[in-house]
Amino acid sequence: MIDARKTLSLSVQFNEIRTNNESEMTEMPAMHAEIILAIFTSFCLLSSAEISEYVIKSERLPPDLNFMPTLGNGHMGYTVFGDAIFMNGVYNGEGGNSRRARIPNWLNLSVAKIQYEEWELAIIPDMFELQLQDGYFRWLFAYEANGLQVKLEQRTYPHRYYNRALIYELFVQCTGAIDPLLIKLNRKPGGKSEAFDFSPLDSANGTVSFKMLQGVTRRLEHRNFQTEPRKIFVAFSDDWKNEHTIELSAGQEELYYRYVITADEREEIARQEMAEVIKLTPEILFQRHALEWRAFWSDFNIQIDGNLELSHIVNAGIFYLANSLPSLNTSHLNGAYFGLSPTGLGRGQLDADYEGHNFWDTEIWMLPAITQFSTRWAEQLLQYRFEHLRGARYNAKQTGYQGARYPWESAYTGTEVINPCCLEIAAEEIHISPDIVLALQHHYAVTHSKEWLCRVAWPIAKEVAEFLVSRVRDDGRKFHLEGVMGPDEDHSNVTDNVYTNVVVKQSLEFASFARSMCVLTDGRPDVWLDIARRMQILYDEKLDYHPQHLGYKRGEIVKQADVVLLGYPIQFAMSNVTRRNDLLNYEAVIRESGPAMSWSMFAINFLDVKDIEKANLYFQRGYKDYIRPEFKVWSENKIGFQGSANFLTGIGGFLQTIVNGYGSVRVQLDGNQSVMVIQKTYCLPTSKGFTINGIKFAQSRFSLKIRANGTTTLSCVEKGDLNIELLVDTQKYAVQEHFSIDLTGSTASLRTI
């Protein structure tokens, strides 16, 4: 438990940071400072059992080191003990060969041996720990013999405030040594970079000097959109090769060693960040990092009661997803953010890592959870799409269509960079463009920001709508889409995939809405709404279900959730009987090697049709078979099948199951009003209850507490500027800060006024 003395100490040290480094830091926003103060208040109340929910310990490493934790801060990322560091937006390779540009992992340091007198002691750590609350990984070792006691702690983290910096720290405690202790460090950065040519730079920087390298990528992604290679500048706090020895003098009881790498696309930022970091004391450096993570956990968290293992899985999932996103408070301003790929910022060189590209995974699978983390993060992800409209226009033109057609895979330039293995997917999975529009719609419903709607959402929705108009075929009665592929990639070149047609319909409806909000109409017939009304939505009246596409035969194996997405997340209107029939028809035909998030969607949709037993089955199936036990790292496919590691897409689906499934939180538009509906809630299986803290809606934050005894409590923990009313059954309430109400057995609707 964090006691008052520790809280005071953190407060004092935070003030020291502000006082001692005022000239080196950007001004902290007032709201952020308030969050920091709230952290100290809230975390001092946590019990030791609750703190343990944020600590994952393992006495061994995973057999496959690919499943080590991936750490990041939105600017850089790496996998612990891996051979690569990656930087946001830095790719190398032409077209489909573009992938994240690998920087050798010069931070991959570890104590290999201790030499004392005539003997050498090889270091085999006793414990490995992933500290989620403060955002770092550490490994521990202790030795005791013949009166000599040695304790080692090593830790590594990408700094969350000084986010151009990657940190390795070594703490040594020693008693009983009558001779010097030699501590031998090894570094394993991997081979030379396949992406960069590195050259040394002059290291002088006033009174401080350090080693500097310049890296230049070797190949352009698309010459029409990228005229020069990417340049990065890397600074090192120490200049040594792959071995280094530190001496602990006889009688010396403590030793601290720190190795820092800073990197940026601007040389002066890499230099400045290094100069600032190396001046800080160990305590201040670490606490400035930890404060940012605690600010995050204070703003959003999910508390699981009565199931520590599930709590670890939930918290690790949140951590892995969040640590690839940009630091929101930094020593130097961030540049543009280049999106969130399925395995995060700390991966991307390998095909198994999807080369670090962006897919529909961002908008459909990850963004609903990320929006609850922070609407600022959601805006940055959607800003990536806005800033790459030019690439989407180019893609539409190159494929013979109008408007903006977002590529199936995008990276630095926003043009199509699909792996050469799978060109038919890029040609046929056109649903990514309307998927992006529906993400815009969801974000507007959550934030209710008309300024953002007209500045960002409307320009994208308009051009995607123009693409869809040029892509559909009109038979005089219905509009059709031919030669497409839905989320199920086992069926290609089909007609009227029902998922694709529904998201096209809904995106055209939102485009028409955005136009009505943002521009003056000319009174002409609305072509977009006409297509939406006449879009072919396949439906088998006799069997009361939706065939996946024209010609689909019941019982055919499919790769992943496709039709079942119509209920949630798409929220397509249908009867519960039809929805249940869809679930029953497709649950038996998902292939065994399918990805994790399919089962999460089955869980949510079975909850909606009130089949709790099946929902609980699929909820547990959606994570238990996909998580490596040591550090709760996700795999794309079940254990026993090959798949990507650190699979954020699966994590996003899993978190939606908790927030939007068992928590029943749904956000939608009703005319020009934003509405958040909470219907029947359910306790998570194998738990005594759970609380979602930090639900975002209409500039306000809410908590939702669900107990095993069936009670549900909704509370407003922070009220924004927008007026909100709450309707529970037939009773209306004005929502104010600290407002709380029992929702047990009722449907609640929060609505902007």
pLDDT band at 209 (very low <50, low <70, confident <90, very high): confident
Per-residue pLDDT reduced to its tens digit, 689-739: 999 999 999 999 999 999 999 999 999 999 999 999 999 988 999 999 999
Tell how far CA 418 is from the center of its chain. Answer: 21
Question: How many Å apart are CA 377 and CA 368, to the nearest integer?
Answer: 11
* pLDDT exceeds cutoff 80 at 43: no
* pLDDT exceeds cutoff 60 at 207: no
Question: What b/e readout covers 294-328, taking b as 16+ CB neighbours within 10 angstroms?
Answer: bbbbbbbbbbbbebeebbbbbbbbbbbbbbbbbbb
Question: How many Å apart are CA 136 and CA 29, to the nearest integer?
Answer: 25
Per-residue pLDDT reduced to its tens digit, 115-155: 998 889 999 999 999 999 999 999 999 999 988 999 999 99
* pLDDT exceeds cutoff 90 at 415: yes
Q: Are 303 and 691 in contact (CB under 8 A)?
A: yes
pLDDT band at 208 (very low <50, low <70, confident <90, very high): low
Note if the bond before 569 is cis, omega within 30 degrees: yes
Per mean pLDDT, which range of 127-131, 205-209, 214-218, 405-409 is the poorest? 205-209
Closest CA to 383 of 338, 437, 417, 326: 338
Per-residue pLDDT reduced to its tens digit, 639-667: 878 889 999 999 999 999 999 999 999 99
Predicted pLDDT at 39: 40
Contacts of 141 by beta carbon, 8 Å cutoff, 6+ apart: 111, 123, 124, 125, 126, 150, 151, 152
Q: Find the mean pLDDT for residues 343-359.
A: 96
pLDDT band at 597 (very low <50, low <70, confident <90, very high): very high
Closest CA to 349 of 67, 79, 627, 628: 79
Give me the count of residues in the chain.
753
* pLDDT exceeds cutoff 70 at 62: yes
Q: How far apart are the first and last CA of the chain?
A: 42
User: What is the DSSP code (8-state) at residue 101?
Assistant: P
Question: How many Å apart are CA 677 and CA 667, to the nearest integer?
Answer: 6
Element (H, E) at 432: helix 432-447
Q: 3-state DSSP call for residue 289? A: helix
Predicted pLDDT at 592: 86
Question: How many Å apart are CA 413 and CA 227, to the nearest integer?
Answer: 11
Active site residues: 489
Q: Are 347 and 646 in contact (CB under 8 A)?
A: yes
Element (H, E) at 107: none
Q: What is the pTM of this model?
A: 0.93
Q: Find the mean pLDDT for residues 415-435.
A: 96
* pLDDT exceeds cutoff 60 at 281: yes
Contacts of 307 by beta carbon, 8 Å cutoff, 6+ apart: 684, 686, 687, 688
* pLDDT exceeds cutoff 60 at 291: yes
Predicted pLDDT at 522: 67
Q: Find the mean pLDDT for residues 12-16.
A: 35
Q: What angle do CA 416, 355, 595 make, to 5 degrees?
A: 100
Per mean pLDDT, which range of 19-28, 379-388, 431-440, 555-564 is the poorest? 19-28
Note if the bond before 229 is cis, omega within 30 degrees: no
pLDDT band at 212 (very low <50, low <70, confident <90, very high): very high
* pLDDT exceeds cutoff 70 at 46: no
Q: What mean pLDDT, rounded, does the chain reach?
A: 92
pLDDT band at 48 (very low <50, low <70, confident <90, very high): very low
CA dihedral 523, 528, 530, 535 (to 10 degrees): 180
Share of the chain above pLDDT 70, in %: 92
Predicted pLDDT at 521: 77
Tell how far CA 362 is from the center of its chain. Answer: 8
Question: How many Å apart are CA 148 and CA 53, to the nearest integer?
Answer: 34
